[in-house]
A and B are shown apart, each in its own frame.
Chain A
Amino acid sequence: MLDPRSLRRFRKNRGALVGLGIVVALGLYALLAPALSAFPPELSDFTAPRTPSGTLSGPSARHWLGVDHLYRDVWSRLAHGARISLGVALLATTLSSVVGASVGMLAGWFESTRARLVDTLLMRLVDIGLSFPYLLLVMAIGAALGDVTLSTILLVLGLTSWFGTARLIRSKTIQVRGLDYVLASRALGQSTFRLLLKHVLPNVAGPLIVVASASVAQMIIAESVLSYLQVGLPPPTATWGRMLQEGQSYLGVSPRLAVAPGVCIFLAVLGFNLLGEGLRDALDPRED
């Protein structure tokens, strides 16, 4: 996907490299979560003491980031929170990208053809979707669902965030459709499906990756908001948003409980945004 010139541009972009570094580090943290923590994230360790002033047990060799209000290991909960936050964000983005790209390519392909009704219908659907404030929509659905599982979160996030992608891919598809070699392939009788798969998809892949990178950051925030507002995964599941919500009550005596997940959310969003910007710059020939 990245040709040598694009790769060279990416390597020269320090912001992109920092973003990539953060993303890789958080990815490794999430993948190695069980090995990195000696304590299960949902298990209390009642041997961790509290000070007489009510301060929760702070960082120690046993608990690297101390314990939370229910004597659970903060490091372990952060690591498992990384799994959920990043996992949900990546999978929801994948779902969103697949739906958005499919709708965008179909709409763009049929634009100005006899089947342009397909384009009209799909784009009006996109208009309706984009007219809702994204986070508000996600929160409303989350609250209405009641019992939320990992798959419902994935579906809610993935199926409410593809509208922007669809619009972008549609405009890109309209450009690609008019290229000579695509017209030649059409003249040779290739099916619409093959044309979309072989000629359009590779041409829209670049912008799709850029949008997806930024979308991951948006998904991380959305999942955190849902958890923070307690309409996400039920307790005691460790998510960064829930940890932030639980930690705020102890901001006065144990600020690390809120600071730690807050920093993680910040780094993850920063990392994916820097990476997305870097990819956009790298894939843009005007950068040369």
Chain B
Amino acid sequence: MRWIPGKTSWLVALSCALPGCGGAPAPPLPAAGSPTPRQGGTLHAATFSDVRSLDAATAFDTVSSVIESLLYDTLVSYDAEGRLTPQLAERWALSDDGRRYTFSLRRGVLMHDGRELTADDVKRSMERALHPDTPCPVPSYYDKIEGYAAYHAGRAPTLSGVRVSGRYELQISLSSPDSTFLLLLALPIMAPLCESAGRTWRASFNLEACGAGPFKLEAYEAGLRVRVVRHHGYWKKGEPKLDAVEWQLGVQPFTQRFKFERGELDYLRELTEADSQQYRSSAAWAGQGAWESSLVTLGVFMNTQLPPFDDVHFRRAVAFAIDREQVSSVRPGNTTPRARMVPASITPDRPGQAHHRYDPARALEELALAGYPYDPATGRGGYPEAIEYLAIIDSFSQQSAELIQQQLARVGVRLRLSVVGFPTFLAKSGRPRTVKMGFAGWHADYPDPSTFFEPILSSRSIQEEDSQNASFFANAELDALLDEARISTDEARRAQLFERAEQLVVEQAPWVPVHDYRAFELWQPYLRGYRPHPLLPQYVRGAWLDRAERAASRRAPRTTLAWALGRGWSAPR
């Protein structure tokens, strides 16, 4: 059979091969501008990743926490401005010595199973989270609770510092004052769970998550979707407005954009850099997007338990060899170079602060001190083996890994990239003596510098499974600094202590910060009541949909291609 290329197909192919062809975002789906919030509708969102767990006591990653924020309420939380506010606790009081909190619970709060929340549920859930058999990723956050050491070690049957003093009253005693304790109670780890969760952890609770949040779990299909539906007994009258929220899992960012333009997604966060720029510069989409707060530090961890990273000179060599400007240039809108652990949004930058720097000559000196001299002119020397570097598949961590691989090769350190899914990444990097180095990222759990040290660099956070301290870094001085900062209420002194902690990280280099990250979030005009929260990622609890508009938009799906063919190609508006 003869094949004759049609002229049209060649023209299309040729035009699509030219830079700048297409790509302009389709116009947003219409909004009626209803003045009052409406009840009903399902909010659709997606992520490229999978959810590792929905058990409040164990899930501790940015993907899981988004779903958790819908399923669980905590004693305290944050208001729209990021200020600490009561949630399930109506009020609290702190004793004069700063060591005992008394919480009065709201009355009439119904859990997802229909039972009323009592102080017993709060105590049981706290004990469950800190039980020695529970793979809680950061139990050391709560080590100031009296009796923690004995309980977490399995030597005591109950957590003596948590005492039920009434059906709706709970007292928590601390071994010493803790300036971060209330912030820690806002984490889902301490969320009250239904009685069905039991007193000890079991893996199956992941599929039947049950708490006191505005939504309850309807379906969780690993790798496919999570669907939560409105909890009709939610204590806050009239909330939530949405009937359901459905997260599609494992959807490529490129696909997410087109689903968004077709109206299959109402909210979009995982945009490629190019798509993000297109939307940001589009007049038609003005007001339908915003940058989230940058509360993230991303970089590289080096496992101090394993050679060659058990040698501080080798770690420093790696730290000096990383060119942050180059890495950030790949995602100029989302990232800025970062050479300190704590993001500038939490500790503003000042001259004279300790920070890492790019210095290839120093990298070579440190490598020689580690016993692996390298001559860049001849390519002789360097570390003899390729070092495995763990990154997350299809993410910016993979792209940054490819750049860091080039940069380290220039000083004689060869990397072999291993890219895996997010859950596998978490499991492997959290296991002792398993992964030598890899991508590291940390999102603030609460607005305090300690969240960038305690869970990822203190010796207390080293665990046999799910260790957040992927460097397995144990440094007595750092531990002492963090201890003092925790009990201190003097802000100036705390700032000094955290500055010394930054200095230690520069000197010891178990973790090399490379850049921060902030996403540009987009939402359809008919998704109302949503703005990026200053602290909580993708906090869609207060959102609502105009159901009539949504139905109309679904009847007329649009694609960029259909729109472009109908309207003609144009530059971004």
Residues of A that sit less than 8 Å from B by CB:
42-44, 46, 50-56, 58-59, 66, 69-71, 146-147, 230, 234-236, 248-256, 259-260
Stretch at the interface among B18-26, B29-37, B114-122, B172-180: B18-26
Q: Does the CB pair A147–B418 fall under 8 Å?
A: yes
Give Cα A36–Cα B358 distance, bound, in whole angstroms: 34
**CA gap between A51 and B326 in the complex, in Å:** 17
* Interface 1/0 per residue, B329-350 and A, CB below 8 Å: 1101000000000000000000
Question: What are the residues of chain B within 8 A of A54 when measuring CB–CB?
Answer: 273-278
B329 touching A46, Cβ below 8 Å: yes
Q: Are B278 and A255 in contact (CB under 8 A)?
A: no
Q: How many angstroms from the CA of A234 to the CA of B419 in the assembled complex?
A: 7
Q: Among residues 257 to 277 in chain B, which have CB atoms less than 8 Å away from a CB atom of chain A?
A: 257, 272-277
Closest Cβ of chain B: how far from A238's Cβ, in Å? Answer: 11
Cβ of A248: which chain B residues have Cβ within 8 Å of it?
Answer: 252, 254
* Chain A residues with CB below 8 A from B416, complex form: 234
Q: A235-B398, A252-B22, A252-B23 are in contact. List 20 more A-B contacts (CB 8 A).
A: A42-B406, A46-B326, A46-B329, A53-B281, A54-B276, A55-B19, A55-B274, A66-B19, A235-B401, A235-B419, A248-B252, A249-B254, A249-B274, A251-B23, A252-B24, A252-B257, A252-B560, A253-B274, A253-B278, A255-B22
Q: Among A42, A55, A249, A259, which residue has its beta carbon within 8 angstroms of that of B20? A: A55
Q: Which residues of B contact A51 (CB under 8 A)?
A: 20
In angstroms, how far is the closest chain A Cβ from the Cβ of B218? 30
Contact A230–B393 (Cβ < 8 Å): yes
Residue of A nearest to B21 (CB): A255
Q: Which residue of A lies closest to B424 (CB)?
A: A146
Query: Shortest CB–CB separation between residue A276 and chain B, in angstroms?
Result: 15
Q: Is the CB of A253 within 8 A of B23?
A: yes
| Bound-complex Cα distance A249 to B256 (A) | 10
Please state if A236 and B417 are interface contacts (CB–CB under 8 Å): yes
Contact B16 A259 (CB under 8 A): yes
Q: In the assembled complex, which residues on chain A have CB atoms less than 8 Å from the CB atom of B394?
A: 230
Q: Which interface residue of A44, A52, A248, A251 has the most chain B CB atoms within 10 A? A: A251
Asked if residues B20 and A234 are in contact (CB atoms below 8 Å), the reply is no
Q: Does B549 count as interface, using CB distance less than 8 angstroms?
A: no
CB distance from B387 to the nearest CB of A (A): 13
Residue among B281, B403, B417 making CB contact with A70, cutoff 8 Å? B403
Q: Residues on B close to A: CB < 8 A?
A: 13, 16-24, 252-254, 257, 272-278, 281, 326, 329-330, 332, 393-394, 398-399, 401-403, 405-406, 416-419, 560, 572
Contact B19 A249 (CB under 8 A): no
- With A53-B572, A230-B393 known to touch, is A253 a contact of B406 (CB < 8 Å)? no
Taking a contact as CB atoms under 8 Å apart, the answer to whether A255 and B398 are in contact is no
- Please indicate the chain B residues that have their CB under 8 angstroms from the CB of A259 in the complex: 13, 16-17
Q: Is B17 touching A255 in the complex (CB atoms < 8 A)?
A: yes
| B419 in contact with A230 (CB, 8 Å) | yes
How distant is the Cα of A55 from the Cα of B337 in the complex, in angstroms? 21
CB <8 Å contact, B402 and A70: yes
CB distance from B400 to the nearest CB of A (A): 9
CB-defined A-B contacts under 8 Å, sample of 22: A44-B326, A46-B329, A54-B275, A54-B278, A55-B274, A70-B402, A230-B394, A234-B416, A234-B417, A235-B402, A235-B417, A236-B402, A249-B252, A249-B253, A249-B272, A252-B24, A252-B275, A252-B560, A253-B19, A254-B274, A255-B16, A259-B17
- C-alpha spacing A10/B401, complex, angstroms: 50
Whole-angstrom distance between the Cβ of B281 and the nearest chain A Cβ? 6
Instruction: State whether A254 touches B19 (Cβ < 8 A).
Output: yes
**B329 contacts which chain A residues (CB < 8 A)?**
46
What residue of chain B has the Cβ atom nearest to residue A59's Cβ?
Answer: B19
Could you say which residues of chain B place their CB within 8 Å of the CB of A260?
17
B382 to chain A minimum Cβ distance, whole angstroms, is 17
Does B418 lie within 8 Å of A70, measured CB to CB? Answer: no
Contacts of A53 in B (CB 8 A): 20, 277-278, 281, 572
Q: Tell me if B274 and A250 are in contact (CB < 8 A).
A: yes
B residues less than 8 Å from A58 (CB atoms): 18-19
A69–B399 touching, CB < 8 Å: yes
Residues of B within 8 A of A251 (CB): 22-23, 254
In Å, the complex CA distance between A66 and B393 comes to 25
Measured between alpha carbons, how far is A44 from B400 in the docked complex, in Å? 12
Residue in contact with B330 in the complex, picked from A52, A69, A236, CB distance below 8 Å: A69
